[in-house]
Homo-oligomer: A and B are copies of this chain.
Amino acid sequence: MAKKLTILDIAKLAGVGKSTVSRVLTNDPKVKPSTREKVQQVIQDAGFVPSKSAQAMRGGSAKVVGVILSRLDSPSENKAVSGILDVIYAAGYDAVIMESQFCPVKTNEHLQVLRKRNVDGVIVFGFTDFDVKAVAEWQHKAVVIAVETDVVSSVGYDNTGVIQLAMDKLLAQDLRHISFVGVDPSDKTTGAMRLKAYQTCCEQADIKAVYGCGELSHDSGYQLTDKVLKKKTQAIVCASDSLALGVAKRLQELGRNDVIVSGVGASDLLSFIFPNTFSIDPGYFDAGKTSAELLIKQLAGQDSITHLTQTACLT
């Protein structure tokens, strides 16, 4: 690893002025092709790499976007991040990633740091009581995933759709006794909205709503099963795959293999382990891609603040 080369070094090496080298670097059209080629050759040979820090300082843009997610080990979020990375990287940006751990304070700290780093934009995975104001300051340089916000762009999941899809599929099979296992409505999206969707479906189909809510874990699903399971129950719709896993497990123990279980998340595990199950895909990966595309467009000034909803699909 040779010592740090600068634009000036290769200017000398190529026998040109440093501005010409700069022009080559920025793809300025007003460079004689022959000169350009010569300079590029020298750059290659010398293994010169322009300093992003200097470019960033000069030009203002560091070509970096910050991503704040709540937990790296959340299957939904890391799928979305993969989508983000794909898009971001293809557009010549890089991502600095941070974990909020569902803590508003940490989130704001991270935003501070990202601001200081002069990142071009941020993508934040929202959670129930995160501080919208802090991200609002970023205006068009921010996109929030998973939570609706009016102040900045957002890409939400179709919390109603994921449940509707499951219900429709079950209703189409002429099932009339469908229970629901969700998470506490204090969680606005996975909790309240999905429960509401279930209730609405029940009303419309004129069937009785039977449900229970708890935490977002297998164990909670397992516990809640007995509460929502009646003799006539034909299916149990769950707000997430982890709940569904717990429910399916409990049903298996009880020998109720007749009851269909549905989850949300598109994990292959659920149906691999339990035959009588299916899962709805909220489109995590695509939501990630979408949000990244949105952000990049906004940074390029090609788009203004927008609110999108990722459509879900059956798996």
Summarize A's interface: helix, strand, loop or mixed: helix
Q: Is the CB of B73 within 8 A of A62?
A: no
Residue with the highest number of chain B CB atoms closer than 10 Å, among A50, A53, A75, A85? A53
- Residues in B neighbouring A116, C-beta threshold 8 A: 49-52
* Cβ of A245 under 8 Å from chain B: yes
Interface residue ranges of A279-302 to B (CB < 8 Å) = none
Q: Which residues of B contact A268 (CB under 8 A)?
A: 218
The winner among A57, A64, A94 for most chain B CB atoms within 10 A is: A94
Contacts A95-B98, A245-B272 known; 11 new A-B pairs at CB < 8 A: A50-B116, A51-B57, A53-B118, A72-B82, A73-B78, A73-B79, A73-B82, A96-B97, A218-B268, A218-B269, A269-B269
**Is the C-beta of A81 less than 8 angstroms from some C-beta in chain B?**
yes
Out of B52, B72, B249, name the residue touching A85 (CB < 8 Å): B72
* A115 (CB) vs chain B CBs: closest residue: B49
1/0 per position for A268-282, CB-CB distance to B under 8 A? Answer: 110011000000000
Contact A85 B73, beta carbon cutoff 8 Å:
no
Residues of B within 8 Å of A56, CB to CB, are 53
Contact A96 B94 (CB under 8 A): yes
Distance A98 CA – B53 CA, assembled complex (angstroms): 19
- Which residues on the B side are within 8 Å of A81 (C-beta)? 72
Which B residues lie within 8 Å of A78 (CB)?
Answer: 72-73, 78
A219 to B273 alpha-carbon distance, docked (Å): 10
- Identify A57's interface contact among B53, B94, B115, B272, CB under 8 A: B53
Shortest Cβ distance from residue A310 to the other chain B in the assembled complex, whole angstroms? 17
Question: Nearest 3 CB-CB pairs, A to B?
Answer: A53-B56, A53-B57, A72-B78
Is there contact, CB below 8 Å, between A118 and B52? Answer: yes
Q: How far is the CB of A252 from chain B (nearest CB, A)?
A: 9
Q: Are A96 and B96 in contact (CB under 8 A)?
A: yes
Which chain B positions have C-beta within 8 A of A184? none
Contact status A112-B79, CB under 8 Å? no
Q: Which residue in B49, B89, B96, B249 is a CB contact (below 8 Å) of A272?
A: B249
> Could you pull out 14 A-B pairs where Cβ atoms are within 8 angstroms?
A1-B139, A49-B112, A52-B116, A53-B57, A53-B118, A72-B72, A72-B82, A72-B85, A89-B98, A95-B96, A95-B97, A96-B97, A218-B268, A219-B272
Taken together as a complex, chains A and B put the C-alpha atoms of A32 and B218 apart, in Å, by 58
Give the residues from 111 to 158 in chain A that come closer than 8 angstroms, CB to CB, to chain B.
Answer: 112-113, 115-118, 137, 139
Interface of chain A residues 68 through 117 with chain B (CB within 8 A)? 71-73, 75, 78-79, 81-82, 85, 89, 94-99, 112-113, 115-117
Determine which of B50, B117, B245 lies in contact with A269 in the assembled complex, contact meaning CB atoms within 8 Å.
B245
Is A254 an interface position by the 8 A CB rule? Answer: no
Residue of B nearest to A272 (CB): B218
